[in-house]
Amino acid sequence: MCRLCLLVLNCRNGAGGLKPRPEPAPQWAVRQPSAVPKSRIAVVIRTGSMRRRGLPLIAITAAVALAQNASAPEMSTHDAPAIFTARVNLVLVPVVVRDRNGKATGNLRQGDFQLSDKGKPQVISKFSIEKTGGRAIPAVVATDETAPDKAQPEPAPIPERFVAYVFDDMHFDIQNLLWARMAADRHLSEFLDPSARAAIFTTSGQVSLDFTDDRDKLRAALQRIQSRADLHATAIECPSVTYYMADSLINRADSQAMNVLVADTYACLHTSPNDPGAPSRDQIEAMVRAAAQREYSVGGEDSRRSLLALKDAVRRLSAAPGSRSLILVSPGFYLTLDHRFDETDLMDRAIRANVTVNSLDTRGLYTVGTDLSQTSVSSSAASSGFRLMADIANASADSDVMAELASATGGTFFHNDNGLKEGLKQLATQPEFIYVLGFSPQNLKMDGSYHTLKVTLKNPTGMDVQARRGYYAPKHAADPEQQAREEIQEAIFSRDEIRDIPVDLNLQFFKSSASSAKVTVVAKVDIRNLRYRKSEDRNNNTLTIISSLFDRNGNWVAGIQKIVEMRLKDQTVENLPAGGISVRSVLDVVPGSYMVRLVVRDSEGQTMAARNGAVQIP
């Protein structure tokens, strides 16, 4: 037999308590335990799918309500203040404004900004200034259940910045790799503070280190990165065809490129068309096409794998509980038209996950035509000028992907500068002030199209504006349940405190053995000012309460979701106690250092609360 349990929540009324009139319940209804004091409010907490004799819980609940309402007193009107946060179609645009010295400024106001969507001016309906420098995250500290009065040690700072470094070992040559590793080693030895975590990934997937603040592990991961570029094969092949030139031949039928490569092939074969027994023009062209196809296949796969690695890094960052940024460390790589969909998808994923992509060109200040890896290639005199122009176009195209990813996500592209260590510091350091502009697009079409954004200042003298470049319109109207889940998930993987609903957080731990412990999360929710929906003489609302546990490096460990369904009588609503209702969740863990994230959302007012906690179990 399936069971339905009524969890009685501690909500004592200091003024004598609530005394609801006892009502007869039908034989199939769930009965309250006789030991429950009348001064408490009983609400249903649903933690899973529950049925009785084929009837879903909602049907049983409705039947119970109808039976109870049959003898309920006449409904009296009670207006409670409602706090409603409109989130429908709200687009948030982070903006950083820097002065002539590159320092972020924080003295601007809403009226100083102008924002346009696809060239159409928008009304800025939300405006805030976030000060990131030295911000301490408030957190409730857990106490030992066996000694609640015992002073607890100061918990470790809660990590709030997560930076993923993606090293493009698919395209590094040896020189670029050495420079990048040296700069990153020096940068990470100075950058990491107690509130930051770093991860190291490579585009080949050969090296992967999840978020940590252990400098020794980060240094060891850097030393394992090797160049995967097959430069030797490119240097000795005859004919020598670059990926860029292969694209010109295959997709653009470049006759000039074919003529140059034919001449180069004769040159590297140490023959000429007029020599006896020399291959014919058709034979040489066949050799060129075969070489181009091989390079196109290899180069295309390398670029595809690089984009996939970046997508994986964005996916990992999307689960980081704090600010998220990705730094692509690369000499650049070429994208053909075949890759543009994957590139757009990568941008889309980063924008939706609030991941800022920054990029650093490891070539620094370089001169095209001095690549020593190509010195052994035999080229005809006639092809030298063409190859130089092709190399210049190739070098520019290689950096395009890094510039595009940074521009689309509001990041920075560091290039044409040999100060790689300083570049990494610039890309990894959060600006001290971030403005957040919000607007609701009017007559937004649900077509999934990309909307370009432009943010300017009314008085831009001496100021540089860096802002989100665009967003994607939804493809269909938001499903309320899905939207609620996304809002809750966004709040869970954040460190911002939300106080739309008054919520007190209490944490305790109990160490049962050297290798096991329990963390108790108690949320006391003030439900007096919530919005209630009237139905069948009842005041209805549903609370979703999620308690999540993260380890010291921001990795999700465990979580419990509880649904509190409230169907309160008018008299009960009028006499709700100031103490609120308490919901208790217990999580099994091993001893260690943890962070707690408590999120509460109500269904009727769509308001939220979010609190942080810290647990240190010796």
Q: pLDDT (tens digit, 9 = 90+) per residue, 234-273? A: 446 788 888 989 998 988 888 888 888 888 888 888 888 8
Strands 126-131 vs 161-167: parallel, antiparallel or unpaired: unpaired
Are 187 and 281 contained in the same domain? Answer: yes
- Is the pTM here over 0.75, yes or no? no
Hey, what are 509's tokens?
A: 């731990």
- In the three-class reduction of DSSP (H, G, I as helix; E, B as strand; rest coil), residue 228 is classed as coil
User: What CATH code is carried by the domain that includes residue 25?
Assistant: 2.60.40.150
The confidence score (pLDDT) of residue 431 equals: 77
DSSP state of 59: H
Q: Examine the domain organization and report whether 398 and 256 are in the same domain.
A: yes
Distance CA 590, CA 551 (A): 11
- What confidence score (pLDDT) does residue 36 get? 32
Predicted confidence at residue 230, as pLDDT, reads 55
Query: Which of these three, 412, 441, 472, is where a domain ends?
Result: 472
For residue 35, count other CB atoms closer than 10 A to its CB.
6
**Share of residues in the chain with pLDDT > 70 (%):** 81
Res 353 pLDDT > 70 = yes
> d(Cα 225, Cα 207) in Å, to the nearest integer?
6
Q: Which of 33, 30, 37, 35 is nearest to 11 (CA)?
A: 37
Query: What 3 state SS string does 572-603 have?
Result: HHHCCCCCCEEEEEEEEECCCEEEEEEEEEEC
- Distance separating alpha carbons of residues 289 and 281, to the nearest angstrom: 12
What is the biggest distance separating any 2 CA atoms in the chain, rounded to whole angstroms?
Answer: 113
Instruction: Indicate the DSSP class of residue 203.
Output: T
Cα 99 to Cα 103: distance, rounded to the nearest angstrom: 6
The answer on 233 and 209 residing in a single domain is yes
Mean pLDDT of 305-317: 94
pLDDT at 300 over 50: yes
Q: Is the pLDDT of residue 498 over 90?
A: no
Evaluate whether residue 358 is within a structural domain.
Answer: yes
pLDDT band per the 50, 70, 90 thresholds, residue 546: very high
CA separation for the pair 453, 469 (Å, rounded): 5
CB 66 within 8 A of CB 536: yes
Q: CB of 408 within 8 A of CB of 271?
A: no
177 shares its domain with 278: yes
Average pLDDT value for the chain: 79
**Claim to verify: residue 458 and residue 528 sit in the same structural domain:** no
Under 8 Å CB-to-CB from 432, ≥6 apart: which residues? 103, 104, 106, 131, 132, 133
Q: In a 10 Å sphere around its CB, with 0-12 CB exposed, 13-18 middle and 19+ buried, how is residue 350 labelled?
A: buried
Quick one: 146 and 103 in the same domain? no
- Residues 487, 613, single domain; the answer is yes
Structure tokens given for 109: 């106001």
| Residues spanned by the domain of 128 | 91-132+431-472
- As for how many domains the chain has, the answer is 3
Q: Are 509 and 142 in contact (CB under 8 A)?
A: yes
Q: Determine contact, residues 249/258, Cβ cutoff 8 Å.
A: yes
The answer to whether residue 300 is domain-embedded is: yes
SS3 for 476?
coil
Is pLDDT larger for residue 448 or for residue 155?
448
Closest by Cα among 370, 386, 327, 385 to 188: 327
Q: Which of 247, 359, 259, 244 is nearest to 313 (CA)?
A: 359
Confidence of residue 478 (pLDDT cuts 50, 70, 90): low
User: Could you tell me the CA-to-CA distances from 369 to 181, 218, 332, 374, 380 in Å, in that order?
Assistant: 25, 35, 17, 9, 15
Task: Evaluate whether residue 585 is within a structural domain.
Answer: yes
Whether residue 567 is predicted with pLDDT greater than 50 in this model: the reply is yes
Residues 6+ apart with CB under 8 A from 336: 247, 251, 300, 303
Question: Which tokens is 489 given?
Answer: 């998930």
Q: Reduced to 3 states, what is the DSSP secondary structure of residue 311?
A: helix
For residue 333, name the pLDDT band (cuts at 50, 70, 90).
very high
pLDDT at 548: 93
Q: What is the DSSP pairing of strand 556-568 with strand 608-616?
A: unpaired
The tokens describing 562, both together, are 């509880």
The pLDDT value given to residue 54 = 37
In a domain, residue 163? The reply is no
Q: Are residues 146 and 234 in the same domain?
A: no
pLDDT tens figures, 4-42: 233 333 333 333 333 333 433 332 233 333 333 333 344
- Average pLDDT estimate for 73-89: 36
Please check whether residues 424 and 435 belong to one and the same domain: no
Tell which of 415, 444, 472 closes a domain: 472
CA dihedral over 305, 311, 312, 314, signed as positive or negative: positive
Q: Does pLDDT of 311 surpass 60?
A: yes
| C-alpha to C-alpha distances, 217 to 82, 91, 189, nearest whole angstrom | 51, 39, 11
Q: Which residue has the tokens 């027994």?
A: 277
CA 64 to chain centre: 43
Q: Which of 417, 449, 472 is the last residue of a domain?
A: 472
Domain check: are 340 and 440 in the same one?
no
State residue 45 phi and psi, 5-degree precision: -110, 120
Percent of the chain with pLDDT over 90: 37
Rounded CA gap, 404 and 364, in Å?
A: 18
Please name the helix (run of DSSP H) or strand (run of DSSP E) that holds residue 287, with its range, or none. Answer: helix 281-317
Whether residues 463 and 496 share a domain: the answer is no
Which pLDDT belongs to residue 23? Answer: 37
Q: Are 320 and 351 in contact (CB under 8 A)?
A: no
Task: Say yes or no: 38 and 97 in one domain.
Answer: no
> Mean pLDDT throughout 332-348?
87
Whether 283 shows a pLDDT value over 50: the answer reads yes
**pLDDT at site 136:** 60
- Whether residue 218 has pLDDT greater than 80: yes
pLDDT given at position 424: 95
Beta-sheet strand order (sheet of 516-525): 143-144, 503-513, 516-525, 581-589
Side chain identity, residue 56: P
Asked if residue 11 belongs to a domain, the reply is yes
Q: For 369-426, how does the pLDDT look when each residue is reduced to its tens digit (9 = 90+)?
A: 545 444 434 555 557 777 788 888 888 888 899 998 988 787 889 999 999 999 999 9
pLDDT of residue 25: 34
Q: DSSP assignment, residue 147?
A: B
> Phi and psi at residue 266, in whole multiples of 5°?
-60, -40
Residue 220 lies in a domain: yes
209 part of a folded domain:
yes
Task: Examine residue 162 and state whether it is found in any structural domain, yes or no.
Answer: no
pLDDT of res. 447: 84
Closest to 192 measured CA to CA, from 157, 239, 227, 142 = 157
